[in-house]
Structure formats: structure tokens, C-alpha cells
């Protein structure tokens, strides 16, 4: 049988097969975009679980430098009246996304677990990224599924916005010649609305120290009890009026009883609605305090009524280039203006250039208002165990940090083996 007429179709069939394979490969390459085409993002947050975020959102590229990002994401947070946290997410487009910005807000409850909070913080990131991912080749790799229980509910507060918290913290430490027992407990009640802010907190601290020296056992005590009350009334987007009151007893400060009342007025240059990103607050207070001392002071006082004033300026801002949190506070007593205090403190973090950032944290205080110091010299135990406040003219603290990173701009991979770097846990 002659098979040549049939073999004439073989080259045609082979050619069509190769053509179909090439078309299929081209179609596959078109329908399967590469990770390098994904949106480049930079997440600026202080306490994010980045490993979890990378695993849950694999359709973007995580870059280490803000200048390489197409989307800059800033997470800021504030404590809510219920004791939870309000997280604000600012999505800022860069490069081809310049001008495409958005802001989302998520509020957690005080009893939310860390895992539950982590899930919903990441969920907010997913939703905020959708407009940018939709403009990238990887939009085909993302599916959105609504919950089956989507319904609107009216939330009614059973406690009328009051939140209570009880806390106890015993601590024990001991060795052959030194034993220390510390007890700390606190009770707080807060009510926060848009118009009012009410905070009450009672704090109790007690420390007993036993140490042996030259076969002699010494026992020393240090205690503190304090009740703080804060009442604030909102007066619009820039003004607030309130009063701070403190009732305390402190063996360290030589105070057996003290009652301080300080009415205050605050002005915020920026609207309070922008407080998660920037604040410039000026707070002035004037009031009095009545004190009864445990022992006679260096000014021969056992009790006295004092009038005083304070002025504080606080500036906070958080942007792509970094963050600044600085405050300057001055106070003095009216009976003697030389009895004053000036304090400057804050934290600054700045991204200087690609991969290089500088951090500064510190504080300095000029102290001239230690009216409660005990007359006479402190014992060796009181000095070594810090049982009594000592005279000083100043206080200084600070730190500086410089970080420089270089290499690949992408940081997408999660590998938890053997812990995080040199740390096993």
C-alpha cells in the first residue's frame, strides 16, 4: 500500500502543532504576570508583623526604601476611649500613582487578641491597596470574596462609654545577700467622647528590700499612692479646656499627703482631626497644691500651700521623611520664681537619603524646684537603694542611632527558620 499521499500532510500537522504551542506559551506568559511587575510598596509602621503581612499579601513588592516605592503607606495609632486602638492608614501614591491617595481607619477593641488585631490591620492594608493593584498586571491574580454575614448593626454602649481596668503586678527577686519584693496595683476608669475626656487612675506601688552587710540584716521600704484625675472639654477643632488633679503620698519624695489642682487651657495649631499625623499643642495651666511632708524639708517646712504655673509646647509629626516628637515644658512657683524647672525632650527619626536613617532620642532638664527634699544628709542605704530623692541641678539622657542598608530593593521573602537573625525567638 502506498503511504506517500498520507505523509504529505505530516509537515503541515507538525507546523500547526508548533504554532499552537507557541501561541499557548505566549498566552500563558500574558495571563501569568511576573512578580516583578507588581506594585512596589513601602509600609511605615512601628509595630507591624511584616512576616505575616508578606504572607497574606503576596501580590505586591515590598521595598526597603521609600523612594523606590510606588505606594507609601503610613500607619499611625491612638488609644481609643474604650481602651483599644484606632489605626489610621494613609496611602500615598508616588511616581505613576502620584495624586492617588486614600485614608482608611480601623479601631480595635480592648479585649481583641494580638492575632485578631493583626488579621484586621492586614485586612485594611489589603483593601487600601486594591485601587493600585487593579492598575498593575497582577490584578488577575487577586480575587475578592464578600462575607456571608454582611449586615449593618447599631452599636449601643451598655456602660455609656465608661471603661474600667484593674491591674496587679507582684514581683519578687532574690539572691544570697539581697531580696526584694515589689507590689504594684492600679485601678482606672475612663470615658472618652468627642466632647469630653474623663480619666481617673489610682496607682499603688510598694517595695521592700532586705540586704545583708557584715552579718547584719537591713530592711528598707519605699511606697507610693496616687490618684490622678483628668477632665477635658472640647471647644472646637483647636481649643480644649480642662483640669488636672493629683492626690498622692510618696516616701521617696518625702510627701505624706499632697493635693494639686491645675486648671488648664490648650490650643492646637493643627485641627485635632489631624492628630494622628501632626500636632502642635500649647498647654498652659495655673493652680495650687497643698503639701504635708513626712519629715522637715531643707526649707524648714512640714506643710505648705503652693501656687504654681506651667507652660508646655509639644510638636508631633509623622511623614514619609520620618517623624518628630518634641516637647518643651517650663514651670515655676509664684512665691519664689527661682524655684522653677525647664524640660526638653523628644524623639527624632529622619531618612537622610536612600538607605540611610538617623534616630535621636533624649531629654534634658534644669531642676530648681525640689521643695520637698529632706533636711540633713541621706544615709548610705537611702542613696544606694534610691529610697530618697536627692538634690540635683539637672538631668540628662539620650541616645543616637544611625542605620544604613544597601543591596536588593525587594524584601518579599519570609523565612522563619532558626528565628530572626541572631535571635532564636
Going by pLDDT thresholds of 50, 70 and 90, the confidence category of residue 5 is very low
Q: Are residues 131 and 205 in the same domain?
A: no
Q: Which of 4-13, 74-83, 155-164, 200-209 comes out lowest in average pLDDT? A: 4-13
9 lies in some domain = no
Last residue of a domain, one of 108, 139, 170: 139
243 lies in some domain = yes
227 lies in some domain = yes
Q: What is the mean pLDDT of residues 281-304?
A: 94
Report the DSSP pairing between strands 71-79 and 336-353: unpaired
**Can you tell me the distance from the alpha carbon of 26 to that of 17, in angstroms, rounded to the nearest whole number?**
14
Q: Is the pLDDT of residue 420 over 70?
A: no
Share of the chain above pLDDT 70, in %: 82
230 lies in some domain = yes
Give the number of other CB atoms < 10 A from CB of residue 323.
20
Going by pLDDT thresholds of 50, 70 and 90, the confidence category of residue 257 is very high
**Can you tell me the distance from the alpha carbon of 424 to that of 124, in angstroms, rounded to the nearest whole number?**
30
pLDDT at 292: 95
What's the CATH code of the domain at 81? 3.40.50.10070
Q: Is the pLDDT of residue 191 over 60?
A: yes
Q: Are residues 200 and 301 in the same domain?
A: yes
Q: How many domains does the chain have?
A: 2
**Can you tell me the distance from the alpha carbon of 275 to that of 281, in angstroms, rounded to the nearest whole number?**
10
- What is the span of the domain harbouring residue 111? 35-139
**Single pTM value for the model:** 0.65
Q: Over the stretch 343-389, which tens digit does the pLDDT of each residue have? A: 999 989 888 877 788 889 999 999 998 888 888 777 766 666 666 77
Q: Over the stretch 99-127, which tens digit does the pLDDT of each residue have? A: 899 999 888 887 777 778 888 899 999 98
Inter-residue contact 88 to 105 (CB < 8 Å): yes
Q: What angle do CA 96, 98, 103 make, to 5 degrees?
A: 125
Give the number of other CB atoms < 10 A from CB of residue 209.
20
User: How does DSSP classify residue 70?
Assistant: S
* Average confidence score pLDDT of the chain: 82
Q: Which of 113-117, 242-246, 419-423 comes out lowest in average pLDDT? A: 419-423
**Can you tell me the distance from the alpha carbon of 330 to that of 407, in angstroms, rounded to the nearest whole number?**
46
Q: Are residues 113 and 187 in the same domain?
A: no
Amino acid at each position: 500500500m502506498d503511504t506517500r499521499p498520507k505523509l504529505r500532510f505530516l509537515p503541515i500537522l507538525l507546523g500547526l502543532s508548533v504554532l499552537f504551542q507557541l501561541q499557548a506559551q505566549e498566552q500563558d506568559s500574558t495571563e501569568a504576570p511576573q512578580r516583578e511587575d507588581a506594585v512596589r510598596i513601602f509600609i511605615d509602621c512601628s509595630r507591624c508583623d511584616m512576616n505575616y503581612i508578606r504572607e497574606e499579601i503576596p501580590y505586591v513588592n515590598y521595598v526597603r526604601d521609600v523612594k523606590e516605592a510606588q505606594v507609601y503607606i503610613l500607619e499611625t495609632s491612638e488609644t481609643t476611649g474604650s481602651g483599644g486602638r484606632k489605626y489610621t492608614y494613609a496611602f500615598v501614591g508616588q511616581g505613576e500613582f502620584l495624586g492617588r491617595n486614600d485614608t482608611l481607619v480601623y479601631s480595635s477593641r480592648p479585649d481583641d487578641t494580638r492575632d485578631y488585631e493583626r488579621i484586621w490591620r492586614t485586612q485594611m492594608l489589603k483593601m487600601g491597596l486594591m485601587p493600585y493593584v487593579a492598575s498593575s498586571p497582577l490584578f488577575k491574580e487577586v480575587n475578592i470574596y464578600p462575607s456571608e454575614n454582611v449586615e449593618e448593626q447599631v452599636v449601643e454602649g451598655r456602660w455609656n462609654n465608661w471603661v474600667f481596668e484593674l491591674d496587679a503586678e507582684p514581683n519578687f527577686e532574690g539572691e544570697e545577700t539581697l531580696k526584694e519584693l515589689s507590689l504594684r496595683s492600679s485601678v482606672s476608669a475612663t470615658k472618652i467622647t468627642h466632647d469630653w475626656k474623663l480619666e481617673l487612675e489610682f496607682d499603688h506601688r510598694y517595695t521592700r528590700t532586705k540586704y545583708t552587710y557584715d552579718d547584719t540584716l537591713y530592711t528598707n521600704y519605699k511606697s507610693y499612692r496616687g490618684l490622678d484625675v483628668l477632665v477635658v472639654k472640647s471647644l472646637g477643632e483647636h481649643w480644649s479646656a480642662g483640669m488636672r488633679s493629683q492626690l498622692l503620698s510618696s516616701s521617696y519624695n518625702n510627701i505624706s499627703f499632697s493635693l494639686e489642682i491645675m486648671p488648664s487651657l490648650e490650643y492646637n495649631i493643627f485641627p485635632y482631626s489631624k492628630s494622628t499625623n501632626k500636632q502642635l499643642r500649647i498647654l498652659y495651666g495655673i493652680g495650687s497644691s497643698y503639701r504635708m511632708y513626712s519629715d522637715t524639708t531643707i526649707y524648714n517646712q512640714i506643710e505648705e500651700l503652693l501656687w504654681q504655673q506651667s507652660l508646655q509646647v509639644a510638636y508631633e509629626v509623622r511623614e514619609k521623611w520620618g517623624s518628630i516628637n518634641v516637647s518643651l515644658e517650663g514651670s515655676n512657683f509664684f512665691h519664689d520664681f527661682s524655684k522653677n524647672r525647664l524640660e526638653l525632650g523628644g524623639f527624632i527619626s529622619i531618612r537622610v537619603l536612600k538607605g540611610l536613617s538617623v534616630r535621636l532620642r533624649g531629654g534634658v532638664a534644669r531642676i530648681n524646684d525640689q521643695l520637698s527634699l529632706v533636711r540633713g544628709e541621706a544615709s548610705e542605704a537611702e542613696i544606694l537603694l534610691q529610697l530618697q530623692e536627692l538634690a540635683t541641678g539637672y538631668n540628662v539622657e539620650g541616645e543616637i542611632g544611625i542605620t544604613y542598608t544597601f543591596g536588593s530593593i525587594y524584601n518579599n521573602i519570609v523565612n522563619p527558620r532558626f528565628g530572626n537573625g541572631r535571635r532564636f525567638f
